[in-house]
Amino acid sequence: MAETIALEGVEINSSHYINGERVGSDETFEVFSPIDQRKLGHVAQASTEQVGDAVSAALAAFPAWAALGAEGRKPYLDRFAEEIGKRTEALCQAEANDAGLLLSRLRHGIIPRAMLNITYFAEHALQLQENVIETKQATHRVRHDPAGVCAIITPWNSPLMLTTWKVGPALASGNTVVVKPPEWAPLSSSLLADAAHAAGLPAGVFNIVQGSGAVTGAALVADQRLARISFTGSVPTARTIAAIAGANLVPASLELGGKSPFIVLADADLDAAAATGALMYRNATQVCLAGTRFLVAESVRDEFVERMKDYVSKLRVGDPRDEATEVGPIIHPRQIEKVKGYVERAKAAGAQTLWGGGVHSAGELYFEPTMFAGVGPEDEIVREEVFGPVLVLQTFADDDEAVRMANDTVYGLGGVCYGEEAHATAIAEQVRTGFIWVNSFGIRDIAAPFGGRGQSGIGREGGEWSFEFFCDIKDVVIPK
């Protein structure tokens, strides 16, 4: 049976949450902190049967939850958000300790956003049934009906943000959910279950099954009773899930990795671009939307490099629980081995190290913010997502080359473009990604679409796009 996990004044239940109750498992898995690799405790590992129980509970709860209507669901969801807010300190401890996320970002950014992810969709679901199309022949009442049981599968790099981003619209539009949290960072999801319980969400509406991807995740996506699968994670896992979703004809939303361009045009405010460039190392670049391929106009290359190097040298690398820290640890020994492998192979292939390049003195799982130049378009370090603080810098001669280089990737998630505003906007419009920031980075308005092209994913979530995914659209046709 799983235990509770004690963290700096906080007790976290490490069992599942199924049909409104805590349920343990005979099997457990160990969770470690990336801060210092200390063992945090054991978390229950759901069996295939327990996953089936969670889907059954969600299926049983679905008709009554759907029948409440958006107005009836809103008070529950507002309370859910309030209960998340009440757990701010516990959530900070959970994600700083198991995911290595920055405490400052959690307290001031991620937790308020997690609450908004619930309240925003609860509010906006009120307008879901107001789509009416009038033609000569008929009135079309276009309904957004809830789909049923939704599987929510999230990665370790920002579990609370990504889980609430999906759970908010799924529940607000009348679905019930089974969440499979990431096994390297499972603790905040357990606190979400406490919040859902305290908010009085009816049993079965919100369920959590902890466990590995290979056992628990695989059992969940294989369940033929699912109405939707919303997945954020890596390309290989997405291929596995998409094959099963395809066989079962279950719509799947896939938010995947990236190798996003960070373009610096010759007419850019170089200081602003360099300051933003240094932010790419936040969360040790374990951020899907970070710009990781720097494409810099030849004429300003040296000055930009000097300025960015200066900003990077001032970054505080260390314990994410220290509010002054800007770059925390890499999540897991396996992940840092992957990062080291990319770095060694890049060096062996002749890449020039502009800064960084090795393990940081803060500890075994900390890696120096690193930048490589002297790389070619076919190099592994230019083409593959590292998911660690290792960036590459290339130069371009003119706008056409900048756009060509930006688009020379199998990915298409995000991008950044610094330059005189009209110029930068014109370039940004030609870059093939799901989103791109002009003279800025990281603005994620909840009403705006989010998702990627190519191997960065299928589908969009955010605002009305979330409702399009989590609902079945029905046209009720009334002739005139």
Structure tokens at 463: 């605002």
Terminal-residue alpha carbon distance, the chain: 63
Number of residues that bind ligand NAD (CB under 6 A): 30
Q: Look at residues 138, 175, 50, 272 and name the one whose alpha carbon lies nearest to residue 472.
A: 175
**465 is a site residue for ligand NAD (CB under 6 A):** no
**Considering the complex, what minimum distance in angstroms separates the CB of residue 189 from ligand NAD?**
10
CA 475 remoteness from chain centre: 33
Do residues 458 and 412 lie in contact, with contact meaning Cβ atoms separated by under 8 Å? no
**155 is a site residue for ligand NAD (CB under 6 A):** yes
Task: Identify which of residues 260 and 395 has a Cβ nearer to ligand NAD in the complex.
Answer: 260
Which residue in 95, 385, 433, 438 binds ligand NAD (CB under 6 A)?
A: 385
Nearest residue to ligand NAD by CB is: 213
From 95, 183, 255, 385, active-site residue: 255
Which residues inside 264-323 make contact with ligand NAD, applying CB under 6 A?
A: 288
Task: Identify which of residues 92 and 289 has a Cβ nearer to ligand NAD in the complex.
Answer: 289
Helix-strand-coil split of the chain, %, nearest 5? 40, 25, 35
Do residues 167 and 246 lie in contact, with contact meaning Cβ atoms separated by under 8 Å? no
Q: Look at residues 80, 77, 61 and name the one whose alpha carbon lies nearest to residue 150.
A: 61
**55 is a site residue for ligand NAD (CB under 6 A):** no
**Pairing relation of β-strands 457-458 and 471-479?**
unpaired
**Considering the complex, what minimum distance in angstroms separates the CB of residue 226 from ligand NAD?**
12
**Considering the complex, what minimum distance in angstroms separates the CB of residue 51 from ligand NAD?**
10
- How many residues does the structure list for the chain? 480
Q: What are phi and psi of 208, to 5 degrees?
A: -125, 130
Distance CA 241, CA 220 (A): 10
Which residue in 180, 301, 321, 460 binds ligand NAD (CB under 6 A)?
A: 180
Q: Which residues of 456-472 are buried (b: 16+ CB within 10 A; e: fewer)?
A: bbbbbbbbebbbbbbbe
Q: x/- string (CB under 6 A) for ligand NAD, residues 213-252?
A: xx--xx--x----------xxx--x--xx-----------
Place of tokens 């590995």: 212
**Considering the complex, what minimum distance in angstroms separates the CB of residue 253 from ligand NAD?**
10
Task: Identify which of residues 262 and 304 has a Cβ nearer to ligand NAD in the complex.
Answer: 262
**Considering the complex, what minimum distance in angstroms separates the CB of residue 321 from ligand NAD?**
22
Which residue in 153, 312, 330, 343 binds ligand NAD (CB under 6 A)?
A: 153
Task: Identify which of residues 31 and 300 has a Cβ nearer to ligand NAD in the complex.
Answer: 31
Whether 255 sits among the annotated catalytic residues: the reply is: yes
Which residues inside 416-455 make contact with ligand NAD, applying CB under 6 A?
A: 452
Task: Identify which of residues 240 and 430 has a Cβ nearer to ligand NAD in the complex.
Answer: 240
**Considering the complex, what minimum distance in angstroms separates the CB of residue 387 from ligand NAD?**
5
Which residue in 12, 330, 375, 413 binds ligand NAD (CB under 6 A)?
A: 413
Task: Identify which of residues 279 and 426 has a Cβ nearer to ligand NAD in the complex.
Answer: 279
Give the other-Cβ count within 10 Å of 449's Cβ: 16
| CA 239 vs CA 233, 399, 454, 455: distances in Å | 11, 35, 13, 10
Q: Which residues of 99-111 are buried (b: 16+ CB within 10 A; e: fewer)?
A: bbbbbbbbbeebb
**Considering the complex, what minimum distance in angstroms separates the CB of residue 338 from ligand NAD?**
10
Give me the residues that bind ligand NAD (CB under 6 A), please.
153-157, 180, 182-183, 212-214, 217-218, 221, 232-234, 237, 240-241, 255-258, 288, 385, 387, 413, 452, 457
Q: Catalogue the active-site residues.
A: 255
